[in-house]
A and B are shown apart, each in its own frame.
Chain A
Amino acid sequence: MTIDLGRGLVLRNPVMTASGTFGYGEEYTDFVDLAQLGGIIVKGTTLNPREGNPYPRMAETASGMLNCVGLQNKGVQYFIDTIYPRIKDFNTNVLLNLSGSCLDDYVKGAEMVDALDKIPAIELNVSCPNVKQGGMAFGVTTTGISQVVSEVRKVYHKHLMVKLSPNVTNIAEIALAAEAAGADSVSLINTLMGMAIDAEKRRPKLSVITGGLSGACVKPVALRMVWQVAKAVKIPVVGLGGISNATDAVEFMLAGASAIEIGTANFIDPAVSVKVAEGMKAYCERYGFQEITELIGALEC
């Protein structure tokens, strides 16, 4: 079940948990044996602390949810001092999702995380839709993504995964720009920009009006984008967006993903990530695949 994503990031199986849906892993240890996962990606962290957006930050939608948390976190230094010592010895890959509001923040943050022995990779978040300068400005143009990825690449020596926004016209172009600027892999999709209205009150349901849509409802969009990006780039693609079971995960692999992330489904079944890993293994056995890597891009069109 092993997947080598390059530059030292080796997963024991293709299943990781998506940033912002699994806390720091600690929240889920009553339900999940982390040693059964390929990795966990911890909550989006910025150089400086952020209080995030006001409540309400969540609205349920048909087969999904909108959120506008707005990158609430205590900053990179707090992560290093307080959280890292608690989670560094987890028996799985612990990746940090790093976000920023300006180029300098990304570079300084990446430099600090580079020094952490037990963090084998950064997932660079250039696609948060909930913050005015939450990085999405970088993630929606080829020049923006080239700039942030190449600057971070100069200071960060381990695996650099770049998380892409689906809120673009041509995601393959953005992925190619990330690859050219030195990304080791790309993960997609981040949430889709959406909105919810309370008709009775004639008011938006979210404090900042718009938010990011996630959950089962985004899966077809995510699958299509993973397929387009995987055809375009040579670096590994990590697929996410609405994956709720092993069949969903297999579909992303067939579309060209080398690994997958489970996000919102963790809220519905806190043990789902391990079940997906087991189910993918069973799928391989059922169809006689010796290696999970045989599934990557195995879609027959």
Chain B
Amino acid sequence: MKQIADFKLVEKQDFGRSVLLQLRSEMALPDIQPGQFVQVRVAGSPATYLRRPISIHDVDAKQNEITLLVQQVGEGTRHLASANKGDTINMVLPLGNGFSLPGKGEKVLLVGGGIGIAPLYYFAKVLNGKGIRPTLLLGGKSQSDLLRLEDYQRLGETFVTTEDGSLGEKGFVTMHSVWQKQSFDKIYVCGPKPMMKAVAKLAAEKDVCCEVSLENLMACGLGACLCCVEDTVDGHVCVCKEGPVFNTRRLKW
């Protein structure tokens, strides 16, 4: 069941362009699947009229805590990033459908680009809990984009690419040598659309099932306004309600 709840900002970590917000609710959290998202109300920012959809970076059900990794891209996220410890932040959650879980014994690759690495942390953690150790391939423009790298490394074998070569292999995630060396049964991707399209193409060439997490512009987040649609084999569907995770076979990419 979805809920509207006030959360208190209990911990904040500053990474420059991005911030980590650890938020605690008085209410028990509903079940949250990796890949689902929250709609955050940005209070006190007149230019930010609508809520902001943000992926869920981590969940601690015992503490009623949700962690968001927020990149400052516009007025709304800039304002959110300026929140102070103790501030109250209202969220609607959990929204959308998460990643489908892999079958037993399947070899899993999680591919993240830029701030798109955020939901993969919780996903990898949940997979670990089910005895699955995923391989992670994380890409950024430079080293500073790859936040909490050591935490990801704990959850699975982690490969890195940067466009400037400051860390890992130089180039895009699709150029990494792991694609030649290993094969996978399932690939999950979150990042900028061109990057997801490139990975989806690669997965299709290898005939591997691929899921991507889309981030179309949203208003309601509940499937009511029909603003965030993606063109699929079933016509226009709401990313907020039927996604944000889609099997690429369903998309007209």
Binding site for B on A (CB under 8 A): 20-23, 27-28, 30-31, 43, 51-52, 54-65, 67, 69, 72, 215-216, 264, 266-271
Query: How many Cβ-Cβ contacts under 8 Å join chain A to chain B?
Result: 96
Evaluate contact between B226 and A57: CB separation under 8 angstroms.
yes
Evaluate contact between A55 and B231: CB separation under 8 angstroms.
yes
How distant is the Cα of A30 from the Cα of B4 in the complex, in angstroms? 9
Contacts of B3 in A (CB 8 A): 30
Contacts of A31 in B (CB 8 A): 2, 4
Evaluate contact between A69 and B46: CB separation under 8 angstroms.
no
Closest residue on chain B to residue A63 by CB atoms:
B49
Given contacts A52-B229, A72-B236, A215-B49, contact A58 B219 (CB under 8 A): yes
Contacts of A65 in B (CB 8 A): 49-50, 219
| A–B pairs, 11, beta carbons within 8 Å | A23-B223, A23-B224, A51-B236, A55-B231, A56-B216, A56-B217, A67-B227, A267-B221, A268-B50, A270-B222, A271-B4
Interface string of B168-208 (1 = CB under 8 A from A): 00000000000000000000000000000000000000000
Q: Does residue B47 face the partner (Cβ distance < 8 Å to A)? A: yes
Q: Does residue B230 face the partner (Cβ distance < 8 Å to A)? A: yes
Evaluate contact between B50 and A72: CB separation under 8 angstroms.
no
Interface string of B90-114 (1 = CB under 8 A from A): 0010000000000000000000000
Q: Does residue B12 face the partner (Cβ distance < 8 Å to A)? A: no
How distant is the Cα of A60 from the Cα of B41 in the complex, in angstroms? 14
How distant is the Cα of A60 from the Cα of B225 in the complex, in angstroms? 13
Evaluate contact between A55 and B229: CB separation under 8 angstroms.
yes
Contacts of A57 in B (CB 8 A): 226-229
Further contacts, 6 of them, CB under 8 A, given A31-B4, A216-B49: A30-B1, A57-B228, A62-B47, A65-B49, A269-B41, A270-B220
How distant is the Cα of A3 from the Cα of B1 in the complex, in angstroms? 33
Task: Tell me the minimal C-beta distance from B27 to chain A in angstroms.
Answer: 13
Q: Does residue B86 face the partner (Cβ distance < 8 Å to A)? A: no
Contacts of B217 in A (CB 8 A): 55-56, 58-59
Closest residue on chain A to residue B229 by CB atoms:
A55
Given contacts A21-B225, A52-B226, A60-B50, contact A266 B216 (CB under 8 A): no
From B48, B229, B241, name the one whose CB has the most chain A CB atoms within 10 angstroms: B229
Given contacts A27-B224, A57-B227, contact A63 B46 (CB under 8 A): yes
Interface string of B212-253 (1 = CB under 8 A from A): 000011111111111111110001100001000000000000
Contacts of A266 in B (CB 8 A): 220, 224
